Structure 1
């Protein structure tokens, strides 16, 4: 298995500037292949998951990366389209095909739900580059997989929850029971138990693995979180995209804490509920998207897996609001223990 490190790039996208290296991993037995270099003006196709730009979480993180690229990379034109709640899978395929046929290159798919579409469309457009966020299984010489060590960042969120909980009772609300969201749960549970082995952890998923509507149902998330708070939980981690707004509302009603995800939600959430957000587990999707586009521009983009972890700054925690500054030294210790392998975090 070949591993190739790319150059550091710095991105500012509404948060603290973070320098991140990309690690591209090719499948065992095959080298990393570079797609045909692009010449001329870059026409970028960006397909969002449910919620699209404005979800104040997952999709907005990708949008921030594109916005930064438009400010810093010459000659970018971007076409953005989003998935609709409850749409059939064929709509995603049609969306990706339409962009490829219109000459957009590269095309970036935000979310694992686009994997079947890329698997079908990418081989038919071998000179078009594709990238997909959070999906490792779809592959090809013109596909780059932008991946994250969510379990490592979620471990730190579990540690925060355990250290800040007064009841020893915490929770997690997930958008659906998919393998990706399960990585958050697995890391969170490990973090909680590392700090407080006797803690109670309540888990609720809003929909089944194939049902993406759970990421756009704040009403359903609010009900799930309220049940947890009423039962004794005083910190709940939301891993539910736009539905997370409901968790924050429930925390506000209960006078309890919540933890955000993907973005610094103490900055992006409704101002009325920002005070309940202890911290957020940020995934630097903005950095991944920006770095991918920069690689296309300078002809260094590669196919295969690109993994962003704690060591590379791809996942981390936020300090907005000052609610966890008292435990920051311990969090930094845990972070370094994970980076150096003294604490092992299983992805599932």
Structure 2
């Protein structure tokens, strides 16, 4: 466990980071499957930090989770390392505990989930500075500086930021109504569908944040993790929301107010995370995961051609040469196919002739 600190123009912030790694003395973090989880990014979403604490207590075997046998997961847990941020926005949480129950921003009024650099600062028509103030610049806030530093040093394979306000499982992108291209998208969608079926009883919205939530969000952590940090699987989980609550009753909108609902939310989502711990490496294998990062076929081919630039000249010349090589191979393939077909037809013709000739010669004149 460590406390990371940063400051900007007299504003100070600290973030507690808990690391879970069995046999840490003997295995380097980089050799394991790495998962980074962040809770409490918005002060009013208290239930998210409660989930973080329950998850950590379960991992330490202090508390059990219904229908989850930790002993059966020992082999899985040996192969992963987790970093958990139970409360990313400590200063904002203090403002909520002081009575401002609708506050989602940090200690100086900046929305930490609008302070990242991907599409930063863009404002929609319904922009509300009391909800979505992006700050004076990308990473102007010490909290986002800390999280960026943590993600760079840890280099996770899976990133999940946990929120409340609705029940949803989001993948990139938040700032546009699309999802990324490629096989990784299908794997992420499959993963979210599995979690939705197993732990959300198919209640959760599944898809891109920008395409599912009803508005676009610019400068979010998940888009940064996916686009800039190249985290192969980056998600935003929304674990609870009360649609019947008054807009003035922020506590009830974002947090369960009765013990039964509280326990259901905590238990269901704790179990969901253990499913992710168990299935994460398998999901990554589906997109040809290697020890570092994913690489698409296009990236591989481009890298191959550029690598040969010293032999053939400038990049565009290399790409042109690559296309010429592909055309040449295609022509050779067609020529080989024609020759093989000709040989095959010739053999059939000879075979027929050899079979028919004795029959004809046996006929009397």
- Coarse TM-score class (shorter-chain normalised): 0.3 to 0.5
Query: In proportion to residue count, which structure has more helix?
Result: 2
Which has the larger Rg?
Answer: 2
Query: In proportion to residue count, which structure has more strand?
Result: 1
With a CA cutoff of 8 Å and minimum separation of 6, indicate the structure with the bigger relative contact order: 1
TM-score (norm 1): 0.32
TM-score (norm 2): 0.31
